[in-house]
Amino acid sequence: MTKLFKFLKPYTRWIILVLALTMVQAFSQLYLPDLMSEIVDKGVVGGDINFIIQTGLIMLAFSVVVSVATIIARLYGAKTGVAFARDLRRRIFVKVEGFSLHDFDQVGTSSLITRTTNDVTQVQNVMVMILTMMIFAPMMLIGGLIMALKTDIALSWIILVAAAVLGVVIGVVAGRGLPLFKSIQKKIDKVNLVLRESLTGIRVIRAFNKEKFEEARFEEANADLTGTSIKVFRIMSFMFPALMLIMNMTTVAIVWFGAHRIDSGAIQVGDMMAFQQYVMQIMFSIMMATMMFVMIPRASASAERILSVLNIENEVLEPKKPLEAKGSCGCVTFNNVSFSYKGAEKPVLKNISFEAKPGEITAIIGSTGSGKTSLVNLIPRFYDVSEGEVLVDGVDVREQGKEALRAKVGLVPQKISLFSGSIKENLQYGKSDATDAEVLSALKTAQASEFIDTLEDGINARVEQGGANFSGGQKQRLSIARALVRKPEIYIFDDSFSALDFKTDAKLRSALRKEIDHATVLIVAQRVSTVMNADRILVLDQGEIAGIGTHKELMKTCDVYKEIVASQLSEEELGDE
């Protein structure tokens, strides 16, 4: 919790204002009972009307000061809290955006969402409370004590007894409630997780008839959260009446024993009334302080959850002094690259060396899981290599600025993601100021015009979340067009033609060849027909290069390639029968 205080720094001025105002508030409140006792003793008992009016006006002025100070303090306290929460959410968001794909798996998406919303709110609430109470409560406690003792020492044993009873009650309640408070946060997480999973996996759940199972799973998490919350509130609902009882008993005790003291002439009526008010102030401040101690552990559980996100070291770091690549032709060079995912035993790529030049098509083929996607993901630096180096335009990717590097790359990922919006907006992800003409020409090359022409709104047609209203092949072509519109130096097509029929595949590749003749092109594919005409084919086998060459060369030298070709030809022949 204390580690989060540093995020309050920009609001130091507001905080000082709040603290100063709560001090004013405390001083005024401590002074009021004193004035009141004088009114009673000198004014009412002594029969001095002028004194009553005079002192009454002073009291009125003090009350106005207290009200104004309280309002402003609350306002700025809340402002600080809200601004603090906004900054914190922004920090988490920016941090998460910089996460490598590996970091994501570490925390989990649903927990990340709870942490950015619910946990931040918890911390915000307590922060505001601390701000408004930090100075106020101790001042009221100590000031109240001093004033009460000054008024009548003989009655002060009542304070001791009342405080002791109060302490025991609050101690018991807090002791039982605290652990429950902490566990509530985890239970909210669980409800979110189940809800999120069943929302995103709704198709699978329906297909496998798992609705009942999911309902039960949700019910369990939900009932767990409800049960704990009810327990907490039951305990808390006992607290308020108990506190009221203690307060009222104290008042009775003061009046009872105070009356005897007045009777014996030791104190005056006003003194007793003032004493009573001071004791109330003392008890209120004890209550507020303990409330804070109840809230803080819950918030610090949240604070820890937030900090653990903020403290994840981004794996893919921006270089201190980014180097500019001299030329910008788009050459990609792998030198003895090995790579393994964090926590994995075996490397997924071993000793990869090759060069992809502009104006040429370099194809990568290999069975599923051979590491093709992992290989191309190293070029825009989604991950860092374990050994060796990846050069783009002759400079190690780790030494280039991430933004400059990624601007050179037009990636069509294997797992396509389109965003909700229009087709045009989706293409403008590739180039934010792309004109209609640019968008249309990219769609034409990607062989997407034919189906877009059938849409009523053309390029302004809506794309649903995740591109749900398009077929797999249509999505692939939109995703290709998005990379084309960017006109980058390096194109990466990760299995981007797999959902297209052979004819569209062939037409698309011949259109591409014309369009991107000056760029470096990497095509990942499973089909031999897709890669056959490439200038260079890389055959991957379990993370290692089994052969590099043209189709003709590989047919003579590379057994793995020959096997792939043979398996696909025979399949097609079988299909023809």
Binding site for ligand M5T (CB under 6 A): 341, 344, 348, 366, 368-374, 414, 495
Q: Which residue carries 């409330």 as its tokens?
A: 291
Alpha-carbon torsion 482, 485, 491, 496, what sign?
Answer: positive
Contact 338, 347 (CB under 8 A): yes
- Per DSSP, the three-state class of 407 is helix
Q: For the CB of residue 516, give the shortest distance to Mg ion in the complex, in Å.
A: 21
Q: Which of helix, strand or coil describes residue 364?
A: strand
Residue 116 contacts which entry, Mg ion, ligand M5T, none (Cβ below 5-8 A, type-dependent) = none
User: Whose Cβ is closer to ligand M5T: residue 62's or residue 354's?
Assistant: 354
Q: How far is CA 68 from CA 65, 178, 313, in A?
A: 5, 35, 46
The answer to whether 136 and 26 are in contact (CB under 8 A) is yes
Picked from Mg ion, ligand M5T, none, the partner binding residue 264 (CB below 5 to 8 A depending on kind) is none
With CB under 5 to 8 Å by kind, the binding choice for 160 among Mg ion, ligand M5T, none is none
List the helix and strand counts (H, then E) for the chain.
20, 12
Can you tell me which residue has the tokens 């406690």? 141
Spatial distance between the Cα atoms of 264 and 210, rounded to a whole number of angstroms = 82
| CB neighbour list of residue 3: distance below 8 Å, 6 or more residues apart | 303, 307
Binding-site ranges for Mg ion (CB under 5 A) = 372-373, 414
* Residue among 361, 375, 161 at smallest CA distance from 279: 161
Question: With DSSP H G I counted as helix, E B as strand and the rest as coil, what are the percentages for the chain, rounded to 5?
Answer: 65, 10, 25
- Least Å distance, CB 420 to ligand M5T, is 25
Please say which residue, 14 or 99, places its beta carbon nearer to ligand M5T. 99
At closest approach, how far in Å is the CB of 537 from ligand M5T?
Answer: 15
Q: Which does 369 bind (CB under 5 to 8 A by kind): Mg ion, ligand M5T, none?
A: ligand M5T
Rounded least distance, CB 492 to ligand M5T, Å: 12
To which H or E segment does residue 520 belong? strand 520-525
The CB-of-374 to Mg ion minimum distance in angstroms stands at: 8
Residue 371 binds: one of Mg ion, ligand M5T, none (C-beta under 5 to 8 A by kind): ligand M5T
For residue 190, the partner it binds in ligand M5T, Mg ion, none, with Cβ less than 5 to 8 A by kind, is none
CB neighbours of residue 246 within 10 Å: 20
Measured from the CB atom, the residue of 299 and 348 that comes closer to ligand M5T is: 348
Nearer to Mg ion, 221 or 379 (CB): 379
Q: Which does 366 bind (CB under 5 to 8 A by kind): Mg ion, ligand M5T, none?
A: ligand M5T
How far apart are the C-alpha atoms of 464 and 328, rounded to whole Å?
A: 36
Within its chain, how far is the Cα of 155 from the centroid?
55
| CB of 270 closer than 8 Å to CB of 37 | yes
User: Which residue, 119 or 495, has its beta carbon nearer to ligand M5T?
Assistant: 495
**SS3 assignment, position 387:** strand
Pick what 348 binds: ligand M5T, Mg ion, none; C-beta below 5 to 8 Å, kind-dependent: ligand M5T
Q: Which is nearer to ligand M5T, 116 or 374 (CB)?
A: 374
Shorter beta-carbon distance to ligand M5T: residue 251 or 414: 414
CB of 315 to ligand M5T, least distance (A): 13
Closer to ligand M5T at the Cβ: 183 or 414? 414
Q: How far is the CB of 341 from ligand M5T (least distance, A)?
A: 4
**Smallest distance from ligand M5T to CB 105, Å:** 8
187 interacts with, out of Mg ion, ligand M5T, none, CB within 5 to 8 A per kind:
none
Q: How far is the CB of 385 from Mg ion (least distance, A)?
A: 18
Looking at the Cβ atoms of 43 and 371, the one nearer to ligand M5T is 371
Q: Are 152 and 271 in contact (CB under 8 A)?
A: yes
Pairwise CA distance, residues 514 & 190, whole Å: 53
Distance of CA 108 to the CA centre of its chain: 11
